[in-house]
Every structure is written in C-alpha cells, then in structure tokens.
A = this chain, B = another copy of it.
Amino acid sequence: MVKRTPLEETVLSRIRPTGEEREHIYGVARQLLDAISASGQVQGMVVGSIARNTWVSGEHDIDIFLLFSPTLSREMLEKQGMTLARQIAAQFTDRFFEKYAEHPYIYASIDGVGVDLVPCYAVETAIKIQSAVDRTPFHTRYITDKINGLIDDVLLLKQFAKAGGIYGSDQMTEGFSGYLCELLVLHYGGFIPLLEAAAVWRPGTVIDIEHHAEKTFKEPLIVVDPVDPRRNVAAAVSLDRMVEFIELARGYLDDPKETFFAVPPHQAITRRALAKLLNERRTHLFAITFATPPYIPEIVVPQLKRSTLAVSELLERNGFSVHHASFDMQPERSMLLFELLIAELPAIRQHIGPPLWNRVNAGKFFEKYATTQPLAPYIENGQYEVEVMREYAHAKTLLESPHLVNTSLGRHVKQAIGQGWTVDEGVTCWREEFAAFIADFFDRCSPLARIRRI
C-alpha cells in the first residue's frame, strides 16, 4: 500500500464518492443498462469515470454508450441510435435533449444524475474505429483492467488539476482530460511519483506505455494512447497548461498544502473596481463585443482564439502595442478584450521605400510621394523614406473600421461580426455577463501564485 500523508488522507475523505453516492449512481446506471437490454436492439456499456470508478465525489455524469454493429451506415447509426437513445431516456424522464459533439447524442437528467446516451460502433479493435466516440469503450476496458490500487491516486490528481485550473481537454482549458490523468498515474505508479517526474518534464516529453507509437507527435506533451498508437492523449494540452502542471508539481513537492486541492471560488469584477484598476494601471482597454455564433464551443472557441490573435496583429501593425489580449464566449454575446499600452498615435508615420540601388523602384517611390505628402521623401540608411498620414491615429477608430472584418477571424466569427459589433473603451468595456472574464483577464497569475495567495 502507498503511504499517504495526513493531508492527502483528509483530501481523499472529502473527494472519494460516499457509499450512498456510489449506490445511487450505480443504481441509475443499472436501470438504464437493463432498459437498453430490454430494447433487444444493442448492448449498452457504461464508460468514463463512473465505469472506471475514478470519479470525484459530486461529478455526477454517467456516460452510456449504445454499441451498434459496424456494418450499419453512419447515417443509419445516427438515425437508429438517436431513436433508441430517446426511447430509453423517455422511460425515465421528460428532461432530455439532443446534444452534439463529433456526433449527436442524448443528454438526460435522471434522478439528479446527468446521463449521456451515445450511439457508437462496436468495433473489434480501437484501430478500426470510425469516429472518436468508438474509441471510448476501449479506454474504459484498458483502464478498468489496470487501475486497481491506484484509484485514490487518480482522485488526488484530478482534484489537484481542478484546483490548479488545468483540468479539462476542452478548447477553453487546453488542459488534462480524465483519461490522461488516469494514464499518467498508471504510468508513473501513483500521484507523488507522477509529480516527481513532472517536476523535470520539458516540452517534447514522450510517454508511451505500450511502446507502440506509430508516428511522431509535435505537441509539447505526448502520451501515446495505449489503445491507438497514432493518437496523442495529451494533444489538447497546451504548452502553458503543461508548464503550469510542472509548476504545481514542484510547488506541491516543496510545500504540500491543502490549497493545492482547493478549487478557487469564482470571482467577478465590479464596474467600480475596473475603473479603479484602469486608473492605477493607466493602460487602455478595448472590447469588441458581438453576438455569439450559434455553434458549439468546440467550433467557436478556436475561432475566437484565432480572432484575438488576428486583431492583436492588426493593432500591432498599426502601432498600437498590445499588452494583453483574451476572449470570452457567453451564451448571448462574445467578447475580444485588448489591453493596450497606447491608444493614440501621431498623425504621421514613417513609410520605408526601396533602396536607391533599385533605380526603377526608387524612382517610382519618389514620384509617388514627392507630390502627395506634406514632407517629401528623405534618405536614410541608403533607402528612401517618407512620412505619410497615419490611417488610424486612434485604436478605437481602427477597431471600428472595416479592417476588423477583413482580418482572419474564422468563418462563424466573421459572420457574427459581419452582423455588427460594438467597440468599447476603458471602463465602458464592463458588462455584467463578462464580469468574471474581465476579473480573470486582469488577475492572470500562475496557478502556483494563486494557490500561494489563497
């Protein structure tokens, strides 16, 4: 048996599901599996952390996969699968509806438990999968076979990652999925051995439990899927989330404290506090707000990320230095937020022409600007230069210009912005719905710093 510290035991006693919770969850799952069997169409399979016994108390989501024959067409799978899923859900509740990840599924709320009913193909090996969901049953079988004796370690790691803000492989978090947490604990043989290893990770770290990688991966952290040699389970983990995990690991090993397992409370900033902050910082805040494109976060969030980068580049190209930029997607509206060092620039700017050696182009440059500009071309470092009027002397007018729509925003964000956008400056950027986002925008300290501060 692993020796736990009293702190870890205390944390475990808090996050381990109680017997009552287990019974309730397993009861709901059993009823659903029975109903699926009773349909006579397919077998059902519980997957995810419930199946693997690795859920943190309070994480009440049951994933049940409906295993259809791979001989079925994709279209028929969706049709038959969703019909069955609806039938099953309807036996237990009125509160269910269709959701969509890579493929459609039914989400139902049954006896206080969230349930996903996901149609998939029952393939022979994970290599024969037709879509990502088909792989999940293999993950569950792999982990269930090996995780015995390490379940507490997985719970500690999940809670540690949640508290550190790096849990979740969604586009917004870019962090560690539950399955990745399980594999890491499995590979290193426990929570503490994992932290000790992570403390000296570098970008390009490769973990290949089954020694079967069939390609080279480029992501900062590489954990080859034991059931699929061509897949990196850690593909979603960004460099910064990886680094933050390293930081947390070092911090915990140096000074293990309960705060490393304490999920930080949600914060929000008031309009008044934002005004005070901007006054102290003397930076220039600009918000671009527009209707959230009517698509799922998996589609919209990467576009918002790309848009934030593209608009930052537009600002920089026009001389407005970006101190920090980020974005938020709320149900109604989305926001790109920019904190600039400068909001206003002179009326003129330098425009560099060709070197004089290039006689034809130098001549053209001279002819073009000698008559049109207030100051004629001059020579500097062997090249023509000229002062021209700056197109946008204020960041706000730039962001309100058509240039905004013409940056590479991503298709749906471009459509949404094309319908109209608002540019706010300073404290008027504040909106109730973005108050939490704006708070995080300014309080973006590292996980270790936040934990030390708690």
Q: Which residues of A contact B (CB under 8 A)?
A: 199-200, 202-203, 220, 239-240, 242-244, 246-247, 250, 280-284, 319, 321, 323, 341-342, 344-348, 350, 356-357, 359, 362-363, 366, 370, 375-382, 384, 393, 442-446, 448-450, 452-453
A448 to B376, CA, bound (A): 10
Q: Which of B344, B359, B376, B443 contacts A250 (CB 8 A)?
A: B359
Nearest CB of chain B from residue A274's CB, rounded to whole Å: 15
Taking CB atoms, residues of chain B closer than 8 Å to A357 are 202-203
A366 to B346, CA, bound (A): 38
A444 to B242, CA, bound (A): 53
Taking CB atoms, residues of chain B closer than 8 Å to A450 are 376
Taking CB atoms, residues of chain B closer than 8 Å to A377 are 445-446, 449
Nearest CB of chain B from residue A320's CB, rounded to whole Å: 11
* Contact status B356-A246, CB under 8 Å: yes
Taking CB atoms, residues of chain B closer than 8 Å to A323 are 346, 348, 350
Taking CB atoms, residues of chain B closer than 8 Å to A382 are 203, 220, 239-240, 242-243
Q: Which of B244, B341, B453 contacts A345 (CB 8 A)?
A: B341
A220 to B357, CA, bound (A): 12
* Contact status B345-A376, CB under 8 Å: no
Nearest CB of chain B from residue A313's CB, rounded to whole Å: 16
Taking CB atoms, residues of chain B closer than 8 Å to A393 are 282
Taking CB atoms, residues of chain B closer than 8 Å to A345 are 282, 341-342
A sample of 26 cross-chain residue pairs with beta-carbon separation below 8 angstroms, ordered by A number, consists of A203-B357, A203-B382, A239-B381, A240-B379, A240-B381, A243-B356, A246-B356, A247-B356, A247-B379, A250-B363, A281-B346, A282-B346, A282-B348, A283-B347, A323-B348, A341-B345, A341-B346, A366-B448, A375-B442, A375-B445, A376-B452, A377-B445, A378-B444, A378-B445, A378-B446, A384-B446
* Contact status A452-B370, CB under 8 Å: yes
Q: How many copies does the complex hold?
A: 2
Q: A247-B356, A363-B250 are in contact. Are A378 and B347 (CB under 8 A)?
A: no
Q: A323-B350, A359-B250, A370-B449 are in contact. Are A380 and B443 (CB under 8 A)?
A: no
User: Which single residue of chain B is at the shortest CB-CB distance from A200?
Assistant: B359
A416 to B41, CA, bound (A): 95
Nearest CB of chain B from residue A272's CB, rounded to whole Å: 18
A377 to B370, CA, bound (A): 50
A350 to B322, CA, bound (A): 11
Nearest CB of chain B from residue A311's CB, rounded to whole Å: 18
Taking CB atoms, residues of chain B closer than 8 Å to A356 are 243, 246-247
Taking CB atoms, residues of chain B closer than 8 Å to A342 are 342, 345
Taking CB atoms, residues of chain B closer than 8 Å to A202 are 357
* Contact status B449-A378, CB under 8 Å: yes
A444 to B246, CA, bound (A): 55
Nearest CB of chain B from residue A161's CB, rounded to whole Å: 15
Nearest CB of chain B from residue A332's CB, rounded to whole Å: 29
A55 to B152, CA, bound (A): 98
Nearest CB of chain B from residue A443's CB, rounded to whole Å: 7
Q: A376-B445, A445-B375 are in contact. Are A282 and B366 (CB under 8 A)?
A: no
Nearest CB of chain B from residue A239's CB, rounded to whole Å: 5
* Contact status B446-A281, CB under 8 Å: no
Q: Which of A242, A244, A282, A442 counts the most chain B CB atoms within 10 A? A: A282
* Contact status A281-B348, CB under 8 Å: yes
A340 to B290, CA, bound (A): 36
- A282-B344, A283-B348, A284-B346 known; 10 new pairs, CB 8 Å cut-off, are A200-B359, A240-B379, A282-B393, A323-B348, A366-B449, A375-B443, A377-B445, A377-B449, A378-B449, A379-B446
Taking CB atoms, residues of chain B closer than 8 Å to A380 are 240
* Contact status A449-B341, CB under 8 Å: no
* Contact status B319-A341, CB under 8 Å: yes
User: Which single residue of chain B is at the shortest CB-CB distance from A339?
Assistant: B346
A284 to B449, CA, bound (A): 39
Q: Which of B283, B363, B442 contacts A346 (CB 8 A)?
A: B283
A344 to B446, CA, bound (A): 29
Nearest CB of chain B from residue A388's CB, rounded to whole Å: 12
Taking CB atoms, residues of chain B closer than 8 Å to A280 are 347
A381 to B241, CA, bound (A): 10
A303 to B199, CA, bound (A): 52
Taking CB atoms, residues of chain B closer than 8 Å to A203 are 357, 382
